[in-house]
Amino acid sequence: MRNRNLLIAEVAIMAALGIILGFIKLSGPWAFGGSVSLEMVPIFIMAFRRGLFAGVLTGMLIGLLQLLINPYIYYFLQVILDYPLAFLVVGLAGLARPKWSDSFGKRVLLIIAGTFIGSILRLASHVISGVAFFADQAPEGTPAFTYSFMYNFSYIAPTFILTVILLVLLSKTAPKLVHGE
């Protein structure tokens, strides 16, 4: 019971941290949503610290909270793809869960792999949403897939890079925070 309560508390704290980090963002040319921020970092921390279930739960909670706080609603299915599903799949980074007892080099490789898994799956969710619901926004002559991929890649890629850097630094300076015990 104690472990369950501790897990619930950690998920809640990390979800709140994700929302706060989502407010600190680099906005750019993204007219239909998207920004460079560190809101995925708490999801990755939970996925690496507590495993797949905790990562997915934290991601889903952050996605739902983002939907409540700052929604961009176009269609019902777009809401699912761009909010709970897009952040839920980030938690699948737990598939590459490093241990704090691993060598630093192995932790770095697993952090990069897990962060890549979560980021590419989030990108896929946003791209599908873009193709299905925002194709009419593509410049004339540009295929919907190309437009959606480039639009979403333009903020997911820098977010991935910043997230990896921060997680590697945290893994070096506070490995028990990122990897648990």
Mean pLDDT by 10 residues, the chain (181 residues): 90 97 79 79 97 97 94 87 96 93 94 98 96 87 93 94 97 87 62
Q: Residue 26 is part of which domain span?
A: 2-179
Position 23 scores a pLDDT of 92
Position 1 scores a pLDDT of 72
Question: Maximum CA pair distance of the chain?
Answer: 58
Distance of CA 138 to CAs 142, 155, 156, Å? Answer: 6, 17, 19
Domains in the chain: how many in total? 1
Position 30 scores a pLDDT of 56
CATH number at residue 26: 1.10.1760.20
Position 45 scores a pLDDT of 97
Separation of CA 135 from chain center: 24
Position 96 scores a pLDDT of 96
SS3 content of the chain, % helix, strand, coil (to 5): 75, 0, 20
Position 69 scores a pLDDT of 93
Rounded CA-CA distance 30/148 in Å is: 11
Tokens standing for residue 72: 């961009």
Position 32 scores a pLDDT of 59
Rounded CA-CA distance 120/113 in Å is: 10
For the CA atoms of 109, 45, 86, 159, the dihedral, rounded to the nearest 10 degrees, stands at -60
Q: Which residue has the tokens 């938690």?
A: 91
Amino acid identity of residue 162, one-letter, is L
Residues 60, 90 contacting (CB under 8 angstroms)? no
Rounded CA-CA distance 163/142 in Å is: 30
pTM of the model: 0.93
